[in-house]
Structures are given as structure tokens and as C-alpha cells.
Structure 1
Amino acid sequence: MTAVTLLHQDHLGDHIDRLVASREPGHGLPRAFYADPEIFERDMERVLRRHWHCIGHVSILPDIGDFELFSFEREAIILSRAQDGEIHAFLNVCRHRGAEVCIRPKGNTRFFMCPYHAWTYANDGRLKAARLMPKGFDREKYGLHKLHVRVAEGLIFISFATAPLDFTLIEQSLRASCGQYGWGDARVAHRQTYAIAANWKLAIENYVECYHCGPAHPEYSKTHALEQPAERIAEMNSRMEERTCALGVNIISGNHWQTSRAGKEAIDVFRYALYEGAASGSEDGSPVAPLMGKFQNYDGGVTSIHVGGTSFLVCYPDHGMIYRFIPKTVDSCEMELIWLVHGDAVEGKDYDLEKLTWLWKVTTAEDKKIIEHTARGVRSHYFVPGPIAPMEYNELRYIDWYLDEISRP
């Protein structure tokens, strides 16, 4: 490493660290955090490559040999169910000259052959053949770069880290929450991706607060009671928990939102009530699919789960939602929504896909608009962030968590 490179890195560290230190407590992030390419690169290094990310549900790869391509920022990932029945993840980068090994978005195969020089890899990432390489060439050293994979309650998580954060608490928390809803035996009913012309943090900050729900989401606010005063919410939640217990369902909430300083991943599981008479997340609160897991009736509640900075889950008694945030560039990202239903549910017989997806399609289309309005606004050189409102406590928590993460190598 040259002296010039070290000098540049020192300058870069000073530049970003000064911005972190200058941010006013209790306020939002300054413009640079959404517009500076150098900060985006640090985001990728210290958030994307440090934490676990939910990439989907096991039902998308039901058979041995099934695979699908995913992307995070510049990284292309092959997710594959190999001959051993296990799910593997590896980078779509040939170990010879770096060409993309897989050029189909999904399918079924026993091996991946690089179209450049025909190096051939098994569907668990091992290099099986490298044509015309000299005697003594060790294939074992040149398998595709593997990522860490964990499967918990049917959810597939990946980590780019060399030594990933401890996943134990995530498994325990998901078992005590998603496990009650039967997510391990669920299947994907629908997936939809939204391209957002905004920095990835603006999209997540919008998701984690409901201060905007009343003005921006009238449809959601008809059934979800998150804009009520705290005392009213506590009263409604108490009645909800009584109904949940009466059904014999034991969902364990727990706030374990923490930075990675202790080597553990962050998770927060919390519950809240729907308005009286609402059973599920639908246009009018009516049920939309067969009950899942241990639920024999509706408890009028929702379980929400935040995991590791880019993954968010929503559990209703009759369906579930996986909400993935995918950074792309400094001023663009994607949101993928994945709807889950009972593993035996049949579209057109047990549920109507349009009714199942209506609420969150409408809500996400509204979110896309407001996030992009905000992205255009914060580009102003005169933008100065204001104080975070009391109802935005989750946003403030997320911002403080994020700043701590990017402040540490």
C-alpha cells in the first residue's frame, strides 16, 4: 500500500468521521449521508458486508438442483440447492478470469459452466473441471467464493463476512415468533420488486416509522392502529395478547436491537394490534388466506420483526411478508416484497392473489412516491435535517445504530 493510498484513506476517514461527529443528536442525517459516494462505499463495507441479510424463503428452491440469482450492490449471488439437499450461496464470479458463471436468472442444474473458458462448478460451488490446466493444478483451491448461509423458520440468510456475526439470537427469536406462525412450512405466493430512485437509508428510515402512516397511507391506517396515543395502543395490545393466549399461541417479543460491537446480530420482535374487527392485513381487514401455524382463529394482532439492518418481517395469522431492502448505488435501491401463505394453500381455491397482495402493494407504491420525493428534497444544498418526532423513535434508533456501525472498521 503506497503512502498516497494511506493519505487518501486517512483523509476519507477524517471526512466521514467528522460528519458523524457533527450530526446533531436527536436529528436526522445530513445530506451527505444520502449523496456522498464515499459514504455509500463505507456503508457497503461496514453494513452490507458485516451483517446478515434475509434473501428469501426455502420454498423458492424446492428441488435439488434449483438455483436463483440475487444481487446486492455490485455483488451477484447464486443461491442453490445442491445434491446434498442443503442450500448454498456463492458469488457469481469465475475463479479463473472473473466472468459470470451463471447467466440464467433461475432454473435447475447439476453444474454451472463458465461461458468464457468452460471452467465447471458443481451446484455446491466446488470446481469440478478446468480444461487444459497443467498437471498439478489443485481444483480444491478454486471453488466459487462461498458465502455463509443460515436457514431459520424457512428464511434464508446470507453473510458476506469472513467471520459472520453470531446468529444464535436470531434463530431463537424467529423460532419464538415466526415459528408460531408456521413460516417453516409456508410457501411463497408472490414476489414483487420496486426500484426506488433514492439512497437505501431513506427507504429504510421510511419503513421503520409510522409518523407518516396517517398522511401517506390512508388504506393501511384504516386497519393498523399505530397512530393512536401510546396509552390507547397499550390498551389495545393488552386485549390482543389476551386473545392470542386464549388461542394457545405463545409469541415471545424481545428487543435485542444492538450494534455489532459484541459480535452478535441485531433483532427486535414486537407486537401491535389491529383495530377492532380487523383480522388481517387486507383492504377491509377481512381474512385473505388459510390460517397458518398454531393459529386456529384470528387474534387481531400483528408481529413485526426487524433483523440486521436490511431485513424486515410482518406476520399475520393467515399470511406473512418478507420486506428486503437492496442497496444498488448511492442514489438507488430496491425493495422486494415476498408474500407467504400456508404451504398447502392453492391460489384461486384457498386465496385470491389480488386480495392477498392488495394492501401492501398499495402501501409500497405510496412509499415509493414519498421516498423519491424525499430523495429529491435532500439533494438540496440548503437541506438541514430537523428533529426526529416522538413517533419516529424507531427511525432515531436505526440512525444511531447505523452511525455506530460505520464509525468502526
Structure 2
Amino acid sequence: MLAPDTKTTEKPMDRIDQLVAAHRPGHGLTRPFYMDPDIYERDLERVFRRHWHCVAHESVIPKPNDFEVFRMASEQVILTRHADGTIHAILNVCRHRGAEVCTKDKGNARVFVCPYHAWTYGNDGALKAARLMPKDFKREDHGLKTLHVRVVEGLVFISFADNPLDFTEVENLLHATCGQYGWAQAKVAHRQSYPVDANWKLAVENYVECYHCGPAHPEYSQTHALEQPLHMIEALNAAMEERTCALGIQIGSGDHWQTSANGKETIHAFRYALYDGVKTGSQDGSALAPLMGRFTEFDGGVTSVHLGGTSFLVCYPDHGMIYRFIPKGPEACEMELIWLVNGEAQEGVDYDLEKLKWLWTVTTDEDKSIIEHTSRGVRSHYFVPGPIAPMEQNELRYINWYLDEISRA
């Protein structure tokens, strides 16, 4: 009698897993990763619903009962400030028939009344009233879906995950970076959204590398030394750190860029120099706004923070930038830029808004153009990704991180 076959049968790889397995190390992603609707849905499931996202600076809802609606893919998140000052993130989906309970983009409200059947919710998501429901109906079981929220140095982060990734390393590094620049006491000076006809990954990949800065961003490259290879700016970086230390300031940096395999959120913070004589990210390198945080003088440096895969921060001594990347479909996304200044600064008195936003408006206009050029190119059936250049090391790391994330259920 033959012994039973005790070999285990491995689950066959699906089409997406096969594409991941076929990825050529050291090269860019192939065409389907920027176009395939199934891959886009997996991106939403394993990147956007798993990781933390920066949605705003808390100064956008300064008063009790203020709210604003944020849209990410097919989701609508109502960010609210409760009467007790706490910030909540709730989904704009009625628990009765699914209608949008909030029909305005922003405002001030203690409650949200569904326009369909008048179910009424508090701005913390609790169901307050459900007209003509039976006596055994339990309101406490039918509140709006609430998301996890963290507020660190004025930045509001949300997670769609039931059990979100550990945020400890992110929080510590944000205190050591944005905290030194006074972001908790900052305010939003301007916000601008850019619709982009491209998959969200093309936009992020463009952001994380500066190999393209010289050819594509002549304005940025006149003031920011990051457009040079690292070995060419080591002396500038060392001089920058000396100036920072002379001001009695220690700004943290750290590389915790990791997959979610260990249950922790990913973050990387690094510093780089501006060219000699340049104070900040402006058209001519001159100051734009009052100094922030612990800075009493300009140190000629920039702190950059990448976190969670979709949120990116830029810190200058006199202003800050938040970059948000938002999926809109397999071949569409949105970039939102948020300018921060000292919370006490007054537009027209302490800063000129047009000058404040000039550099990153020009740079992002150029980015939108080059990303859309690339998107049209990768649609070609003949597109074959080439090797990643040494100056694109952050893009290579991002690609490897992304492939690992969508491979993990």
C-alpha cells in the first residue's frame, strides 16, 4: 500500500504576484504598475489602508466644532475639532443607507444631519438621533466609522487600518525635526492642489529623487545643493551642521525606512544644505517670513522628512511645506501643497504670499508637466524600464518598499 502524499501544495501566485516576482532588481517598475486597475485596487488595500497619512495641519480647524472634508480615492474623511478641542476623523458615510452626511467642504457644526432620512451624528461620529426607529434600536452601535488619529507637532495623521502601524518612531522623529522648527505653533499660509494625469506612484517617484532637478528645475537648482551628488556637497552639509549647532539647535535625522512586516510605520528624515549665501527656499535666496521655532538666525539648511509612503515634509527656518499625494484612479492622482508660517505672522505685513509660494509653485508646475510626460510615455506597449541611476537611490528604495508592501496580505 502506498503511503499518502504528505507534500504541501503552495498557493499559486496570482497575476500581480507574478509581476512582482518578475521585477528586475535595480530597475523601475513595468507598465502595468502604472495602469492596471487591479494593481491600483491592491495599492489602496495594502498601502493606503495600511499606512498613516498626513491630511492637514491642525490650524485648518482652529475653533471648536470646525470641520473640513478630505477626499482620498473613493473615501471622504470629515476632520473635526470637537467642543473639548480633540480632533476626530470620521467617514462621510451614513450608517443607515450610506448617504453623505456632510454636504459642505468645510464649516462649523456640532452635528451632521443626513439629508436622506435625517439621522443625526455628533462631530465625534456618535449617532445622536435616528427618527422613527424601533425601541430596541441601539444608537451606540450605529455611529459613523471613526479612523485612528494622531496629532504631532501640529500635523494631523489618520489611518484607515483597524489595527494601525506603531507610530512611536514617527512621533519621536517628528519632535526632533518639525518640533525644532516650531510647527506646532505654525499656521497654514496657503494650500494648492494639482490634479495630475498619472498614477500616484509616478508622482511619488518623481518627488523622492533629485536626479531630475538639474534638467527639470533650474529655479530650485540655483539655491538647493541637493541637485548635486552627495560627495559634491559634503563640505556644504558639514558647514550647515556647524551653523545649526552654533545656534544651540540639534535637529534630528534618522533612517527608519522599513516595511510594515514588523508592525511599525516608516519614516526617513535627512538634512541638506542650501548654497552659500542662501537663507531659504525663495527666488533669490533671501528670507521670506519670520523665523520659526528655535531659530534666531538662518542656518542655510533644509530638513526633509519622508513618511508613510504618501506624506513628505520640507522644513526651512522661516516656513514649511507639506506635500500630500492622493490617489484618484489607476491613471490619476492629486498633489496638495501646504505652506506653513509662524503662527503669529500676518500676510502682507510679515510675509508676501506671492513670494512665499513662488519657488514651490514653479517647481510643482514643472513636476506636474514632467510626470504627465512620463505617464504618456509609459502607456506605450514598448516601454521597458531602465536602470535606476545612483542619484535615484531614494526612488530605488521606494520601489523596493512598495513591492514588498503589495506582496504582503
- Do they superpose with TM above 0.5? yes
Letter of the structure 2 residue corresponding to residue 390 of structure 1: P
Aligned to 1:380: 380
Identity of aligned pairs, percent? 71
The one-character-per-residue Cα deviations of 1:45-76 (angstroms, maximum 9, x if unpaired) are 00000000000001001101000000110001
Residue 206 of structure 1 pairs with residue 206 of structure 2: yes
TM-score by length of 1: 0.97
The 5 Å alignment of 1:182-197 reads 182-197=182-197
Give, in whole Å, the separation in 2 of the partners of 1:11 and 1:386. 32
SS of equivalent to 1:226: helix
Which ranges in structure 1 are unaligned for 5 or more consecutive residues? Answer: 1-9
Query: What is the CA-CA distance between 1:181 and the residue it aligns to?
Result: 0.1
SS of equivalent to 2:373: helix
Aligned to 1:291: 291
Query: What is the CA-CA distance between 1:119 and the residue it aligns to?
Result: 0.1
SS of equivalent to 1:39: helix
Letter of the structure 1 residue corresponding to residue 33 of structure 2: F
Query: What is the CA-CA distance between 1:14 and the residue it aligns to?
Result: 1.2
Aligned to 2:93: 93
Give, in whole Å, the separation in 2 of the partners of 1:107 and 1:243. 44
Give, in whole Å, the separation in 2 of the partners of 1:259 and 1:187. 32
Letter of the structure 1 residue corresponding to residue 251 of structure 2: I
Letter of the structure 2 residue corresponding to residue 341 of structure 1: V
SS of equivalent to 2:325: strand
The one-character-per-residue Cα deviations of 1:164-199 (angstroms, maximum 9, x if unpaired) are 000111110000000000000000000000000000
Aligned to 2:127: 127
Query: What is the CA-CA distance between 1:404 and the residue it aligns to?
Result: 0.2
TM-score by length of 2: 0.97
SS of equivalent to 1:64: coil
Q: How many residues align?
A: 400
Letter of the structure 2 residue corresponding to residue 57 of structure 1: H
The 5 Å alignment of 1:105-124 reads 105-124=105-124
Give, in whole Å, the separation in 2 of the partners of 1:226 and 1:42. 33
Aligned to 2:7: none
The one-character-per-residue Cα deviations of 1:336-387 (angstroms, maximum 9, x if unpaired) are 0000000000000000000000000000000000000000000001100000
Give, in whole Å, the separation in 2 of the partners of 1:347 and 1:215. 33
Q: Say whether the 8 Å CA contact 2:229–2:391 is kept in structure 1.
A: no
Residue 79 of structure 1 pairs with residue 118 of structure 2: no
SS of equivalent to 1:180: coil
Aligned to 1:144: 144
Aligned to 1:356: 356
1:12–1:149 CA distance, 2 compared to 1 (3 A): farther
Letter of the structure 1 residue corresponding to residue 272 of structure 2: Y
Which ranges in structure 2 are unaligned for 5 or more consecutive residues? Answer: 1-9
The one-character-per-residue Cα deviations of 1:210-244 (angstroms, maximum 9, x if unpaired) are 00000000000000011324222111100000000
Query: What is the CA-CA distance between 1:389 and the residue it aligns to?
Result: 0.3
Aligned to 1:173: 173
Alignment root-mean-square deviation, CA: 1.1
Residue 323 of structure 1 pairs with residue 323 of structure 2: yes
Give, in whole Å, the separation in 1 of the partners of 2:26 and 2:186. 40
Letter of the structure 2 residue corresponding to residue 245 of structure 1: C
Give, in whole Å, the separation in 2 of the partners of 1:278 and 1:12. 56
